[in-house]
Amino acid sequence: MKRFWRRVHIRALIPYLVFGVLIIAAIIILGEEIDHHLIVVEGWISNLGLFGVLVYILLFVIMTSAFFPDTIMGIIAGTLFGLKFGSIAVFAGFLVGSAFQYWLSSHLLKDRIEHMVASKPNLLSIQQAVRQQEFRLQLLLRLTPISPVMLSYILGVSGVKFLGFLIACIVHFPIFFLEVYFGYAGKHIARMAGRSELSVVMDDVLVIGGLISAIVVVFLVSRKARQAIETATSPK
């Protein structure tokens, strides 16, 4: 199980590392021009208005259901729409997508997903624990870095009640908020680097400090949830 959690954490970190590298590359290549390009992109998104957010939500549902990393979608939302509307777009897409994935796994893909879970002992032990402590385990699982799409598919074939499943999805919001904040902060840092004179203002301190605080909180909550799940899934 420890090896399983190690793989989960590594996979969760990869999108953040990739985005960080892209931000650094953009700063190096564009230099002070980066702020101009960001303004152009923001103007384009602003012109799309509500339509742009709705298209994003639709893409979120389709792409994450096909196992495209939700973390990347969250970071993109923070970069394009900002913290407020990015969080709303991601969470709306997540709830609609989760309901869609629950339906797929409990109807169209049930046999295939059950076979996949049966072939992976760690996922099987989690599924068995969920059947014994249905709602509590769902809440804890949503606080860990396990792919929320994978969880939705597993829970869909586990026979959990849809209402409890949907309520438990709400608990995943802090992790999505971190993803959106990461994209928002990345754009802010790119703007800082694009200034003609390097200076740090209070807004910069608040954005970077908020990102660090969000990372610490999500890490601590995730670790506690993981420990509780390990206890619940360990052989009695």
32 neighbors 194 (Cβ within 8 angstroms):
yes
Lowest mean pLDDT among 33-42, 124-133, 152-161: 33-42
Residue 8: band (very low, low, confident or very high) from pLDDT cuts 50, 70, 90: confident
Contacts of 224 (CB under 8 A, 6+ apart): 143
Model pTM?
Answer: 0.84
Q: Which domain holds residue 31?
A: 2-233
Residue 146: band (very low, low, confident or very high) from pLDDT cuts 50, 70, 90: confident
pLDDT value of residue 226: 82
174 neighbors 145 (Cβ within 8 angstroms):
no
pLDDT value of residue 61: 95
Q: Which residue has the tokens 């680097």?
A: 193
**Interval 189-213: pLDDT, tens:** 887 766 655 555 677 778 888 888 8
81 neighbors 53 (Cβ within 8 angstroms):
yes
* C-alpha distance from residue 76 to each of 5, 8, 65, 86 (Å): 26, 21, 17, 8
The number of distinct structural domains making up the chain is 1
**Interval 75-120: pLDDT, tens:** 999 988 989 999 999 999 999 999 999 999 988 888 899 888 888 8
Distance CA(133)–CA(33), nearest Å, equals: 54
Residue 217: band (very low, low, confident or very high) from pLDDT cuts 50, 70, 90: confident
